[in-house]
Amino acid sequence: MSSVAACERRASLVSLFQERLAIGALVCQHRACGLGTPSKQLRFCSVNAAQLDLFVDEGIPEGLSRADNFISPSQERDCVAALKGLPFEAFEFHGFLGKRRVISFGWRYDFSSGRLHPAAEKPPFLLALRDHAAAFAGVKAEDLAHALITEYAPGAAIGWHRDKAKFDVVIGLSLLAPCQLRFRRKLEKGFERTSLIVEPRSIYVLRGAARSEWEHSIPPVSALRYSITFRTLR
Ligand SMILES: O=C(O)CCC(=O)C(=O)O
């Protein structure tokens, strides 16, 4: 892409994101007024577009969008404190236990049956994050019916995969340690590969080819990392 085209694309994405964030902030403020007291929902809207580091990366899969500084350091601290109290379980895949630990809300994907099962309601801190993430991704908050929280202890990883077809848009928030997010797509011979560093407090969204053609994986992390993945259902 030429540098002029890249600049134009960045400008149009920035204005789109600003619009979405403004809508998200308005929705949250409206809710806060309705409740009569400021809530955590409002706090997650306090990072504005000027503070977000938006990326228009070249050479990364089409359909991937992302931004750094999606939440503030104090919002990250509050989230991590809330996560510490959750009953995580070892990730299970066909009888094998992985090193990472997970917990699902709304719906839980069962790898043995390939089906979704109802899971616990999202706790308030997660609803606030969901609303903020939905505004960024341009989806309705209530369409993010499923949330998966993953705890990566040092050395934990996730292997090559595409998210299950029962899900559509995938949104990932990252907390604490950074990680490498690798992508690969099958070619006639071998794979096309690329990767990016996912920073703590950042968000990424997978749609289009990034979601349907490319697989992704994360090599072992060097320090504790949490990810919060919201997904719409098909
Ligand atoms: O931790 C992440 O950001 C990715 C999680 C993921 O790919 C998954 O749970 O399918």
Q: Does residue 28 surpass a pLDDT of 50?
A: no
Q: Is 24 exposed, middle or buried (0-12, 13-18, 19+ CB in 10 A)?
A: buried
Task: Give the separation between CA 141 and CA 144, rounded to whole angstroms.
Answer: 6
Check pocket membership of 163 for ligand 1, CB cut-off 6 A: yes
- Entry field: residues in the chain: 234
Task: Calculate how far, in angstroms, residue 159's C-alpha sits from the geometric centre of ligand 1.
Answer: 9
29 or 116, higher pLDDT = 116
The pick from 109, 151, 216 for probing ligand 1's pocket by mutation, whose C-beta has the most ligand atoms within 8 angstroms, reads 216
Cα 199 to chain centroid distance, Å, stands at 12
Task: Calculate how far, in angstroms, residue 82's C-alpha sits from the geometric centre of ligand 1.
Answer: 20
Domains of the chain: 3-233 (2.60.120.590)
Rounded to two decimals, the pTM is 0.80
User: For 113-165, what is each residue's pLDDT tens digit?
Assistant: 999 999 999 999 999 999 999 999 999 999 999 999 999 999 999 999 999 99
Query: Taking CA 159 as the corner, what is the angle to CA 155 and CA 164, rounded to the nearest 5 degrees?
Result: 135
Task: Calculate how far, in angstroms, residue 42's C-alpha sits from the geometric centre of ligand 1.
Answer: 27
Average pLDDT of every residue of the chain:
83
User: For 171-191, what is each residue's pLDDT tens digit?
Assistant: 999 999 999 999 999 999 999
Phi, psi of 7 (to 5 degrees): -65, -45
Angle, in degrees to the nearest 10, between helices 124-137 and 73-84: 130
Count the Cβ atoms, other than its own, within 10 Å of residue 143.
16
